[in-house]
Structure 1
Amino acid sequence: MTDTSWSLPDDGEAVRDALVSWYEDDHRSFPWRETDDPYAILVSEVMSQQTQLGRVVTAWEAFLDRWPSAEALAEADRSDVVGFWTSHSLGYNNRAKYLHESAKQVTTEYDGEFPKTPEELQNLQGVGPYTANAVASFAFNNGNAVVDTNVKRVLYRAFDIPDDDTAFEEAAAALMPDGESRVWNNAIMELGGVACKKTPSCDAAGCPWREWCHAYEIGDFTAPDVPTQPKFDGSRRQFRGRVISILKEYDELPLSKLGPRVRVDYGGEYGEGWLRELCSDLAEDGLVELESERSDEGKNWVVRLRQ
């Protein structure tokens, strides 16, 4: 049941003006904040889901140099897109696949014109409510209030909003000024990323909400738990990426030859059964083909990139 006991400050206009002024006076510079191209913004949002923003800048610029438009990406070979994703350590390769498919949708289903509302944008492959809202906001100034982990932390601390998704969404919507989703969503996410981090920097960052902030008043900066990114080294994500990278070079390999290239300790617990399961997952994601072939030695499994 949603907790409805919370309330926002009465002087809402002053709260809004303080945040927007703080953001416009000084904020981190990211290249996707300098464009309203929905394609470029979608790429930045997808990349940012699992990667630190500092590393995203280099990958984002390289990606747009190679595929500068939705049309260019739609015409690309999917294995090239996935290979780029892997080489830049951008997280799950599924995101590259969905981005490629969404570019095809824009060119074939929308005649090259991006949909403009959060609802329409969710028709694109792999675009959920948060990403759709972000693209609608930053490209078209036509979004709703964005609620990510940073925004939740800000609302929880500043206005004592309960740790409840519906409450966070309602509070964020009530705060956002009409018709200003672009600057507002940038500003409140910046506040969470710069001043109201897990360890806050209220005074050092000049937080514009100190006079209204409940946590600042009582000195208790408790916040909802924020899931941490699983360690990448030795993770399933890392080995999935290695499989794709190796197949980019060899096109196809039997598991017996692929395994030692994927991990140096291949065998035993991490033998054929482990690798076949890993490749089966990639096959279900549409990234590879896994087939069994009969020979004099018996059944052999062969894996190849899906074209």
Structure 2
Amino acid sequence: MSERESESGETDAVLSDADVDAVRAALVEWYETDHRAFPWRRTEDPYEILVSEVMSQQTQLDRVVEAWEAFLDRWPTVDALAAAERSEVVGFWTDQRLGYNNRARYLHEAAEQVTGEFDGEFPETPEGLQELMGVGPYTGNAVASFAFDAGDAVVDTNVKRVLYRAFGVADDDEEFERAASELMPDGESRVWNNAIMELGGVACGKTPKCDEAGCPWRRWCHAYETGDFTAPDVPEQPDFEGSRRQFRGRILRVLGEHDELPLDELGPRIRVDYTPDGEYGREWLRGLVEDLADDGLVELRECDGKTLARLRQ
């Protein structure tokens, strides 16, 4: 599949053909045994999946669930969305704090295209789906995969991290695409892309949880063998003093002493020079707590225009 340069300067296949079958089976079994039960994983409706994909862009998945369900309650079909006033759709997007209102406009326009140009039927291929407004290569491939089982291998940041760590795939977009495509079983894009993205989100995050999450690829994983968990989005670990690791630890200690804190009350407790609009302010702190939320350590919620953080129970 992928290749890693040996000490002699030659390249050796990281996985043999026989190993590829074992790797595939291990990942699919792990995913099908237990995975996060997001509601859009229980549907093959391309409209519902498109809504979830658009909402998930730069928004935490836990926050998307409530917004996705509310959106579909209001506009349950692509016809209903196409018939809606665009201002209502944008207003909903704003009320749900989903950000980037142009995504709401594009989603509404895509619904109009489906009903007006495609006779109410979604295109089924990644290329066909990219004819819809606001649908790029990644989203088109995701909808084709999850709705029609007709996609290519998904290659997002999580997948790159997994392939880089596990099999030594070079930090090169073409190499990631090649390796991901060779590893995905033919005609199984739905389960495979869900599974490998779940692996990257649950077990192989920036802070890996190999044993805790029961990573199914530990027996083959180069990073697990060597203890080197750097990746394209995870550079060599910096010095601890003044590092993100240090402030993450402080956040967890402070939240352990309080039920819940708004960011602007949490900030001064972890950094004396915290100012909401400063260099080390609200946006800097939000990045730290969102990383902790991604790692399953912290829960975030919005209340009266404020972001509140608490330890995950």
TM-score (normalizing by structure 2): 0.71
- Asked if 1:202 corresponds to 2:210, the answer is yes
- Asked if 1:60 corresponds to 2:68, the answer is yes
Residue of structure 1 equivalent to 2:115: 107
- The structure number with the bigger radius of gyration is 1
Distance in structure 1 (CA, Å) of the matches to 2:98 and 2:202: 23
Distance in structure 2 (CA, Å) of the matches to 1:160 and 1:55: 33
SS at match of 2:110: helix
Residue of structure 2 equivalent to 1:44: 52
Counterpart pick for 1:18 among 4, 19, 26 = 26
Counterpart pick for 2:77 among 46, 69, 75 = 69
Identify which of structures 1 and 2 has the higher relative contact order when contacts are C-alpha pairs closer than 8 Å and 6+ apart: 1
Residue of structure 1 equivalent to 2:159: 151
- 1:98-177 correspondence to structure 2 within 5 Å: 98-177=106-185
- Asked if 1:187 corresponds to 2:200, the answer is no
Shift, 1:193, TM fit: 0.4
Question: One-letter code of the match for 1:32?
Answer: W
- 1:196-275 correspondence to structure 2 within 5 Å: 196-225=204-233
Equivalent pair of 1:6/1:162 in contact (CA under 8 Å)? no
Shift, 1:91, TM fit: 1.6
Shift, 1:6, TM fit: 7.2
Report runs of 4+ in structure 1 exceeding 2 Å deviation.
Answer: 3-8
Residue of structure 1 equivalent to 2:254: none
Distance in structure 2 (CA, Å) of the matches to 1:39 and 1:90: 18
Shift, 1:155, TM fit: 0.3
Distance in structure 1 (CA, Å) of the matches to 2:144 and 2:45: 11
Shift, 1:202, TM fit: 0.3
Shift, 1:130, TM fit: 0.4
- 1:88-103 correspondence to structure 2 within 5 Å: 88-103=96-111
Give the root-mean-square deviation of aligned CA atoms: 1.9
Distance in structure 1 (CA, Å) of the matches to 2:180 and 2:14: 10
Deviations along 1:211-254, one digit per CA (max 9) or x if unpaired, are 11010011000011279xxx9x87xxxxxxxxxxxxxxxxxxxx
Shift, 1:168, TM fit: 0.5
Distance in structure 1 (CA, Å) of the matches to 2:58 and 2:104: 12
Distance in structure 2 (CA, Å) of the matches to 1:111 and 1:97: 20
How many residue pairs align between the two structures?
A: 229
* Percent identity of paired positions between Structure 1 and Structure 2: 75
Shift, 1:50, TM fit: 1.4
Shift, 1:76, TM fit: 0.7
TM-score (normalizing by structure 1): 0.72
Residue of structure 2 equivalent to 1:9: 15
